[in-house]
Structure 1
Amino acid sequence: MMIICKQLAQTQVMQIPTGGMDLSVLRYNPHKPKVVVVMGATGTGKSRLSVDLATSFSAEIINADKIQVYEGLDIATNKITEEECSGVPHHLLGIVDPESDFTAGNFVSKASLAMKSIVGRGKLPIIAGGSNSFIEALVDDENYDFRSRYDVCFLWVDVAMHVLNQFVSDRVDRMVASGMVEEVRNMYNPNGDYSKGIRRAIGVPEFHSYFRAQYSSSADEKTRSLLLERAIKETKINTSKLAQRQLAKILRLKNVKGWKVHRIDATKVFKKTGKEADEAWAELVAGPASMIIDEFLYNFDHPRAFADMADRSGRDVREVQMAATTY
């Protein structure tokens, strides 16, 4: 159920004082144990933020992506790599047979066991993933079991859609360059069922016509080239559509169900590259998120911390606070 990433953390995100409090006291605290949920559309950096927080707050991560739970297609499903894990244990990642179905009920059962185990070791569970239907099934279960057992803090990493669309388009190109087509080809089955298992992953059904043409003696090179180009384009379009659906679900959870969601705007980060992007991530995403979680765990007062961040960055305090807006 758990993947232990052996790579040790190379860098630490912005550290927020916690007064030396050991998370293991949560086991003996009369109050409910804490759980953090990191949400967002595909490509917004949920995995990165979860690891940043986990290295700061002694946490373990539970994957809530309904496709990444399956074994295989690491490139096509954009699974976090061992290096990116930075030594943080990950649960429910690549553990399900790719031919089987993994339902929301299955997720609730396994995630509940993982949370109990993590809390029992004095660690903070961080649930991260884009499958909001899985998260909703866990948090708002019929018997209110989750709410009765845990206090929860919701983080939403948001990126303006026009900026995110360009990013996911470029990401698909990088995935293709990294061998995604060959990876998906190894799973090709002319009679495959694209309505179940890992074959539901975006980037699998889109390449069906291309692979079929490759194995057909009647398809010439030009036809195959056009089909490949179309498959890549469709993968980009469908990824953008997925991001829009995910955003709509988050807004429904906030507006209709009344979830208290802390929105962190990462748009400016995605407009930068290289070192500047990393610095913006620490300032606009990892830093504010750490403050929110620190307050959630320890009731730490952050006005002075926001002021210090503003002084270091030369920005207005209100602008820094806007990076961690509660919706």
Structure 2
Amino acid sequence: MPRKDPIIFVIGCTGTGKSDLGVAIAKKYNGEIISVDSMQFYQGLDIATNKITVEEADGVPHHMMSFLDPSSTAGYHVHQFRSEALRLIDEIRDRYRIPILVGDDETSDTEFPENDLSNAELWEMLKKIDPESAKLIHPNRRKRVIRAIEVFRQTGKKKSELIKEQKSSENADLGGRLRYPDSLVIYMDAAPEVLEKRLDTRVEKMIRMGLKNELIAFYDKHKSFISSNSYGVMQCIGLKEFVPWLSLDTEQRESRQGIKLFEQGCEDVKLHTRQYARRQRRWYMSRLLRRSDGERKMASTKMIDTSDKSLIISTGMDIVDSWMSGINYFEEVPQGSRLNSVDANILKTCDVCNIIISGKNNWEKHIAGKPHRHRQKKFASQRTGITA
């Protein structure tokens, strides 16, 4: 049975060919693309953030790209993005077209005045604001702690309250009831060694396309902002790595020291991009493919191995064609990956070792480990000596 109100999500690690597949789907099925890549929200840095070119877009409308002024993004947060994306989805459907969301991350970073606070201090701040969320976030997960604090400041509601509201409505992502029942999620990945080589090659291509001149022009325009901030656009891989080189004057940039700093920036971009891809893989596997019970309604989900670039479009289009005709996909993951979301995030404190452990599996590994058992034995003998 054909889909009544289809919506397609093309997501996955950076460098897996999402943009090309998104365009192919849009051209065949009269779609429009909404970017969900926060690095591409900002104006400028088209090469550094790997924005799709006019030629690559091939006439397909793209939304949520290059709309934020890099120097005035304070207050823009994930809930704002979500509201804007939902509005765009409705508008695209009003035009009798299919919304296709394409991208590789979940949020964008905004201004946060307490960046100088330690992880422990930030976690204590969250604990006072939203103790329920604090129980689920390890103090060392700095970005998650900051995000929960920002949610409260920018919405007036605790993150834990918003999550409960979403789960009790039709606004949940892939848990609870689906806002969009006719949803297809295509998760794109590749063999780690293939993907990392592909990402390294992409950085080299960026340099050939004029990355150096783009960075200089952007830095000259936003110099004071870049020098005094570590949030927003400064989170973008492809800019922050070159600040030491950009800080030099024109002549110094071409000196032996300048060349060395630029080359180091290129290597750092490669390293950070590879690390980013690994984090994305873990995030998607845990968030999108995890099932906590048998009653949770899931969107049709299909994984694509993009290790062979020549097969990306044909494989992806076969999946979309079948799904549009009425076939559903439910991607299976190893049993060990099907963790209850609460068990996976709950924090426990080991009084013997004086550390906080995140997640049920990590807790079980910790208490079974030699260091813990050794300290526990020592602690027990000390208590026996005291009571004797």
Normalised by the length of structure 2, the TM-score is: 0.61
- 1:283-312, Cα deviation, whole Å (9 max, x unpaired): x322232232223223169xxxxxxxxxxx
Q: 1:126 aligns with which of 79, 100, 109?
A: 100
Say whether residues 1:291 and 2:318 are aligned partners.
yes
Distance in 2 separating the partners of 1:85 and 1:231 = 29
Q: What percent of counterpart residues are identical? A: 28
1:149 to 1:251, Cα distance in 2 relative to 1, 3 A? closer
Contact 2:187/2:301 (<8 A) preserved: yes
Counterpart selection for 2:255 from 212, 221, 226: 221
CA distance in 2, matches of 1:196, 1:114: 26
| Letter in structure 1 aligned against 2:87 | L
* Cα distance between partner residues in 1 of 2:326 and 2:106: 27
CA RMSD in angstroms, aligned pairs only = 2.9
User: Residue 264 of structure 1 aligns with which residue?
Assistant: 304
Following superposition, the deviation at residue 96 of structure 1 comes to: 1.7
What secondary structure does 2:204 align onto? helix
Residue in structure 2 matching 1:154, options 171, 185, 193? 185
Q: Which residue in 1 is equivalent to 2:234?
A: 199
Aligned position for 2:33:
61
Deviation at 1:149, TM superposition (A): 4.2
- Point out the structure with max Rg over C-alpha: 2
Cα gap change, 1:180/1:44 in structure 2, threshold over 3 Å: closer, same or farther? same
- How many residue pairs were aligned? 261
Asked if the contact 1:157–1:264 (Cα under 8 Å) also holds between the matched residues in 2, the reply is yes
Is contact 2:43–2:67 with CA below 8 Å preserved after alignment?
Answer: yes
Q: Cα distance 1:268–1:148, how it changes in 2: closer, same or farther (>3 A)?
A: closer
Question: In structure 2, what is the equivalent of residue 3 of structure 1?
Answer: none
C-alpha displacement at 1:224, in angstroms?
A: 1.3
Shift of 1:128: 0.4
Give the aligned partner of residue 41 of structure 1: 13
Corresponding residue of 1:117: 91
8 Å CA contact 1:169–1:236 kept in 2: the answer is yes
For 1:210, the equivalent position in structure 2 comes to: 245
CA distance in 1, matches of 2:266, 2:240: 11
The partner residue of 1:182 within 202, 209, 213 is 213
One-letter code aligned to 2:306: A
Distance 1:173 1:252 in 2: 32
| 1:308 match | none
In the other structure, the counterpart of 1:249 is 283
Q: 1:68/1:46 Cα in 2 relative to 1: closer, same or farther (>3 Å)? A: same
Deviations, residues 159-179 of structure 1 (Å, cap 9, x unaligned) = 111111111111111111211
1:230 alignment counterpart: 264
Shift of 1:247: 0.9
